[in-house]
Structure 1
Amino acid sequence: MLTGKTFLITGVLMESSIAFHVARLAQEQGASVILTSFGRTMRITEKIAGRLPERPPVIELDVTDEAHLDTLADRLGEHCDQLDGVLHSIGFAPEGAFTFLEASWEDVSTAVHVSAYSLKALAVAALPRMREGSSVVGLTFDASFAWPVYDWMGVAKAAFESTSRYLARDLGPKGVRCNLVAAGPIKTTAARSIPGFEQFEEKWQERAPLGWDVTDPVPTARACVALLSDWFPATTGEIVHVDGGFHAVGT
């Protein structure tokens, strides 16, 4: 399905990470992958990379660091001539951003920068290496609602989803697609950092028509791999829900 393709994959931190399973499935389908990490997590990502079918290179990328972004295309050139796609699996909000009325702009701006603006920043930084027909895929948590406890991270995800649509508009003429996968709650490192996130886990299984396993990131990873492939050549600006059908039913 992906033979001969090369993908840049962010967000591989633990074996439970959705991004880890995207990388694994991509390799199993014939692709080469390049991972990113930064700072103290570089060592962790490099260790987890060894658990993939083939150990990929890991390059440093902090999506809030202009120097990292400005040099990304050149540094990718050490490992590949061209990219066929990018997975954005990045999100962060300071603890203060999870108290909506009391949150400071400093906390909110950090959440929006890392979790929304970074989609544009990453896509533009990788664009010089992306061939026509490439795909940008991001991971979101459906921002159509005001969720319990999600607060300013929910606002950041709304901005993230809007950013994807604008990228679809501006990258389309360059032959690059941009789509998102809206996943149900998964027990990842990012989820554990959100106070009270277990509220989602308890309700999702009850309400999702197909049921939902919060420990299984593979269905979400498969959707990402499908969108990275050539099987959706005319789809862009889309949000594909992989949530057991939760989004489709009322209370």
Structure 2
Amino acid sequence: MGLLAAKTVLVTGVLTESSIAFHVARLAQEQGAQVILTSFGRTMRITEAMARRLPTLAPVVELDVADPAHFEALPDQIRQHASTVDGVVHSIGYAPRAAFDFTTATWADVAPALQISAYSLQPLVAACAPLMPQGGAMVGLTLDASVAWPGYDWMGVAKAAFEATNRYCAQAYGPAGIRCNLVAAGPIRTTAATSIPAFGRFAEWGEHAPLGWDETDPTPTAKSCVALLSDWFPATTGEIVHVDGGFHATGG
């Protein structure tokens, strides 16, 4: 019996085999879960290709978190594959390149970062909540927003908003038995991360982390997500679990 035996988990953000979301989906299946992926538009084909690389082929449903109509349609799409959902993984982040310059970015640059990277958590929980009659778990991915990372700029602000949104989701959906937690991962060399102009500045992370850190290995982060999706954290919500080799505890 795996940690997620007989559970159904919805995973967003699977675009490449190096992505944390892909490894969460893989480990969730290995731990017994039925996995459903989301994607939209031109990326649907990419996600469908990634679904074929999982241990078991996973269905892909359409979800563009910038489109409110997609949230309205999501429950019916999920019901085509499963009657209920036990866990949801929010692994979505986006900011225009201009948002990575704090002093020159305009609201037009910042607004999509906040909508897609932070606000989207709440409508995702709201859309899935009716499919969680016995409660469940929402797990999101963040980079510790308690400090200002050089070069992370408005995406760092979006992550701070994301972390606050998670706390309010924990408060709002806790009475329904839905736990909302985040994993604050160290830098992982994914396609999305390397598109951040300042990603190279994290190169020395492992030298300062007490346990070390391998930016090419998303498995520790994925394992933590799977643990939070499981029944082994029944009374934990509104939490941020650091999976960064201990870097956050050292002051850098």
After TM superposition, the score normalised by the length of structure 1 is: 0.98
Could you list the runs of 5+ residues in structure 2 that have no partner in the other structure? none
Name the residue aligned to 1:34: 36
Match of 2:125, as an amino acid? A
Q: Secondary structure in 1 aligned to 2:150?
A: coil
User: What is the alpha-carbon distance in structure 1 between the residues aligned to residue 215 and residue 133 of structure 2?
Assistant: 35
Name the residue aligned to 1:173: 175
1:66-100 superposed Cα distances (whole Å, 9 cap, x missing partner): 11111111111101000001000000000110000
Q: What is the identity percentage for the equivalent residue pairs of Structure 1 and Structure 2? A: 68
Q: Is the 8 A contact 1:10 1:36 kept in 2?
A: yes
Name the residue aligned to 1:206: 207
Q: Is the 8 A contact 1:133 1:230 kept in 2?
A: no
Q: Secondary structure in 2 aligned to 1:178?
A: strand
Name the residue aligned to 1:134: 136
Q: Which moved more, 1:113-122 or 1:190-199?
A: 190-199
Name the residue aligned to 1:235: 236
Q: Is the 8 A contact 1:183 1:242 kept in 2?
A: yes
Q: Secondary structure in 2 aligned to 1:131?
A: coil
User: What is the alpha-carbon distance in structure 2 between the residues aligned to residue 241 and residue 146 of structure 1?
Assistant: 17
Name the residue aligned to 2:76: 74
Match of 1:13, as an amino acid? L
User: What is the alpha-carbon distance in structure 1 between the residues aligned to residue 103 and residue 12 of structure 2?
Assistant: 31
Shift of 1:131: 3.0
Name the residue aligned to 2:251: 250
Name the residue aligned to 1:219: 220
User: What is the alpha-carbon distance in structure 1 between the residues aligned to residue 157 and residue 134 of structure 2?
Assistant: 32
1:35-73 superposed Cα distances (whole Å, 9 cap, x missing partner): 001111110110011010100100110011111111111
Name the residue aligned to 1:23: 25
Aligned pairs for 1:116-131 within 5 A:
116-131=118-133
Shift of 1:180: 0.1
Q: Number of residue pairs matched?
A: 250
Could you list the runs of 5+ residues in structure 1 that have no partner in the other structure? none
User: What is the alpha-carbon distance in structure 1 between the residues aligned to residue 165 and residue 48 of structure 2?
Assistant: 30
Name the residue aligned to 1:194: 196
Name the residue aligned to 1:146: 148
Q: Secondary structure in 1 aligned to 2:198?
A: coil
Q: Is the 8 A contact 1:133 1:233 kept in 2?
A: no
4+ residue segments displaced more than 6 Å: none
Q: Which moved more, 1:11-20 or 1:187-196?
A: 187-196
